[in-house]
Structure 1
Amino acid sequence: MPRRRRLLLLVPALAVGACAGLSGRDPPRVSVAGLEALPGEGLELRFLVKLRVQNPNDAPIDYRGLSMELELMGQPFASGVSDAAGSVPRFGEAVIGVPASVSAIAAVRQMLGLPSRDVRSLDYRLRGKLAGAVGTALRFESTGQLDIAAFGGPAPGR
């Protein structure tokens, strides 16, 4: 009987996993839309990383939290989390702000790695996840270029 009971518990779990895998949802497209300086603490820099989240699906993406890691020029740079909750409409987009920390060591490492020529943009790699219902998450990954001017002060009007 214990073997049969385990099988009865395992079958529904596998069915739920299979249904989730067959949902046909495309992953969200996420890119860095901007950076805004925030007050730092001690030996860290702080930024509000503005992420543009595009939903290429026919159903909204409801989220309850977000985490992200940002690399610049192939090196870890910043990471952040937000407990923001909301929804990205079907075939729509939203901009979500995520406070991120950069250690002074990472900032110095990035500055030392800059080429001596006039640099106007930096290659970035962004990874993270949008948390959904309990135990679910939509992972994302993207690459692009950040304009150096993005590292300026607060956005106009602040």
Structure 2
Amino acid sequence: MRRILGLSVFLFMLSLSACALFPHRDPLNINVVGIEPLPNQGLEVRFAVKLRVQNPNETAIDYNGMALDLEVNGRTLATGVSDQAGSIPRFSEAILSIPVSISAFSVLRQTLGLSQTQGLDNLPYVLKGKLAGGVFGTMRFVDRGTLDLPGSAATW
């Protein structure tokens, strides 16, 4: 019984010290800085989303893949992945480009999801993504806001 108690205490202390070995990282600052058209395929539209990624940490962020999801009005509109690899130095920033696809069915779902009284202004969006960096190095990010499309307040 004493051995089990001693082993339990030892494992608990070991787990506490293991947590201290992983450095604390501040969240990345992500901003969409551009959208460029890419060649389309059939019933989809493709864009290259350019993200400014700022690293406010004391260590570099190494990544070997990216993923991005854009939800508008509570529904997925665009998704994209890239196997691009690189590093963002400490207290620095980089522009990353991720190709995303918007299918005709996503556009149809978005259109059917709008009520007749709801315009294209103030549509809520959620941009979710990650920079893959191995088991403990993956950095996830989320940006939320509303889309305000100029000239979308059409009068009938």
Q: CA 1:148 to 1:50, structure 2 compared with 1: closer, same or farther past 3 Å?
A: farther
For residue 32 of structure 1, what is the aligned residue in structure 2?
Answer: 32
Whether 1:85 and 2:122 are equivalent positions in the alignment is no
Structure 2 spans left out of the alignment, 5+ residues: 1-7, 151-156
Query: Is the alpha carbon distance of 1:122 and 1:105 closer, same or farther for their aligned partners in structure 2, counting shifts above 3 Å?
Result: same
Normalised TM-score (structure 1)? 0.71
Secondary structure, counterpart of 1:26 in structure 2: coil
SS of the counterpart of 1:84? coil
User: What is the correspondence of 1:35-54 to structure 2 with a 5 Å cutoff?
Assistant: 35-54=35-54
The residue type equivalent to 1:52 in the other structure is R
> Once the 2 structures are TM-superposed, how far is the Cα of residue 48 of structure 1 from its aligned partner?
0.8
Instruction: Kindly indicate whether the alpha-carbon contact (under 8 Å) linking 2:120 and 2:148 is maintained by their aligned counterparts in 1.
Output: no
Residue equivalent to 1:106: 106
The secondary structure found in structure 2 opposite 1:40 is: strand
- Percent identity reads 46
Alpha carbons of 1:115 and 1:31: their partners in 2 closer, same or farther (altered >3 Å)? farther
Partners of 1:53 and 1:46 lie apart in 2 by 21
Query: Quick check: which has more Rg, 1 or 2?
Result: 2
Deviations 1:65-121 (A, max 9, x none): 111111122221111111111122222211111011111111123345287687467
Q: Which residue of 1 aligns with 2:137?
A: 136
Q: Which runs of 5+ in 1 are unaligned?
A: 1-6, 150-158
2:126 aligned partner, one-letter code: R
Task: Determine the structure 2 residue equivalent to 1:124.
Answer: 125
Q: TM-score, normalised by structure 2?
A: 0.72
Q: Relative to structure 1, is the Cα distance of residues 132 and 56 closer, same or farther in structure 2, using a 3 angstrom cutoff?
A: same
Q: What's the RMSD between the two structures over aligned residues? A: 3.2
CA displacement, residues 2-35 of structure 1 (integer Å, 9 cap, x when unaligned): xxxxx9xx89x957862465x1211212232221
Q: What number of residue pairs does the alignment pair up?
A: 142
**Counterpart in the other structure of 2:154:** none
